Structure 1
């Protein structure tokens, strides 16, 4: 698993969401580095992490534990956004003794309907071999109905290789595992450690309908809502988001 380590103190693992990489939570890392050792990771099939055929939350949680073992870290706080939040939750539920604090950003421990068909279409139809610059890629995204902010985010995973542009993402494997990514395994036990759910007020990823499920799996839970933000709450109001996270895990 590819990672970047910085800072000093108790360990915090930061896990990005779908189509992202370890730079997504870089601003949070900078806020935490004066008090914590911060480890930002690339999830499998993202960034520079290994390519795997089947992404499941138990497998992705095991990747986090394997990294902790390799670094000889007994326990860490884990912060995850979106898909990364599901990985963080699965890690806490499967390996509770290894997680000191859990922070989940704008995702619930539930199954979601497919909502990325347009994104997959835009990514998979991008004519990589014909691209001469990133502006052409942005225009392609916009023509297929991807808003400018989302397109800019997605294109962070586009890189120039020896033979032209290529994706850092393993799109085929992500597409193959998409059903697993939007679903959620059945867990028969809960995580009793301190847990914080942060949601964007304008997002529909965490709703009142999810409340009972969250409390059942995470009985020691607190919740915060950041007004004026959607699913990308950590990027829309980073100073507020970062402060909330830091105060909780201190």
Structure 2
């Protein structure tokens, strides 16, 4: 069953750019990029199920998440869109492109391939669980709790974007953490759909990331045969580490569409 997703829409004419975050992210993470893009195009940023301000429900399958986004496009009366997804969001947009290619004007994939990955978030789950049980009163306490398991400050700052003020005054997570962790194997698995998406595609990968290695490119091109692969001097969070280079690559790709 599809979920009615939370979204932000800048409005405007033309084919919109739909932006989809990765695991533990939200539409809020893309505000600076949206400010730049909204001057020239309509931008719609989405909170996937169990993330941001969208509902918490069981199931993190890519077919279901792609259906959520398709139903949102229906609600907004958007027949076709440029789709941009980072990490898990990249797998969502690849899945949507395979399942409903007629809805996709072009595809932009941020540092992910349509393949299965191994476990990579054990410390993150441990840190988020520590946050839940610790019930921090402020962000300094939250950072200390996260720091017991997550040593990288940049990762802690990213995870802390999921905190909101609770009714009793402390900070709480707005993630559907139980639902995400229960279906983590599916999240780390391959994309949904069969066959290839033959439309215009840009894949942006980080030079310092292991998510789209040269060894993965043959499998990627089986699913995305028209993919233009651009490597940025960044890690996995390339849109945050190299925002201007990321945005320039996206703009150069979209201006040709």
TM tier relative to shorter chain: over 0.9
Q: Does the CA contact (< 8 Å) of 1:112 and 1:183 recur in 2?
A: yes
| TM-score between the two structures when normalised by the length of structure 2 | 0.93
What are the equivalent positions in structure 2 for 1:43-122 lying under 5 Å apart? 43-122=48-127
Taking structure 1 as reference, are residues 174 and 219 closer, same or farther at Cα in structure 2, changes over 3 Å only?
same
Q: How many Å apart are 1:126 and its aligned residue?
A: 1.9
| TM-score between the two structures when normalised by the length of structure 1 | 0.96
1:169 aligns with 2:175: yes
Distance, in Å, in 1 between the alignment partners of 2:93 and 2:216 is: 17
Following TM superposition, the consecutive aligned residue runs of length 4 or more in structure 1 with deviations greater than 4 angstroms are 127-130
Structure 2 portions without partners, runs of 5+? none
Query: 1:98-146 CA deviation, whole Å, 9 max, x = no partner?
Result: 0001000001000000000000011012255642211011011112243
Distance, in Å, in 2 between the alignment partners of 1:89 and 1:191 is: 8
Q: Please provide the CA RMSD for this pair.
A: 1.3
Q: How many Å apart are 1:27 and its aligned residue?
A: 2.2
1:211 aligns with 2:217: yes
SS at match of 2:48: coil
SS at match of 1:115: coil
Query: 1:31-63 CA deviation, whole Å, 9 max, x = no partner?
Result: 221221100000100011111101100000001
Q: Does the CA contact (< 8 Å) of 1:118 and 1:146 recur in 2?
A: no
Q: Does the CA contact (< 8 Å) of 2:130 and 2:146 recur in 1?
A: no
SS at match of 1:69: helix
Aligned pairs, how many? Answer: 249
Query: 1:150-193 CA deviation, whole Å, 9 max, x = no partner?
Result: 00110110111112321110100010111110001464311110
Q: How many Å apart are 1:30 and its aligned residue?
A: 1.9
Q: Does the CA contact (< 8 Å) of 2:134 and 2:145 recur in 1?
A: no
Q: Does the CA contact (< 8 Å) of 1:128 and 1:165 recur in 2?
A: no
Distance, in Å, in 1 between the alignment partners of 2:151 and 2:7 is: 29
Structure 1 portions without partners, runs of 5+? none
Residue in 2 aligned with 1:4?
8
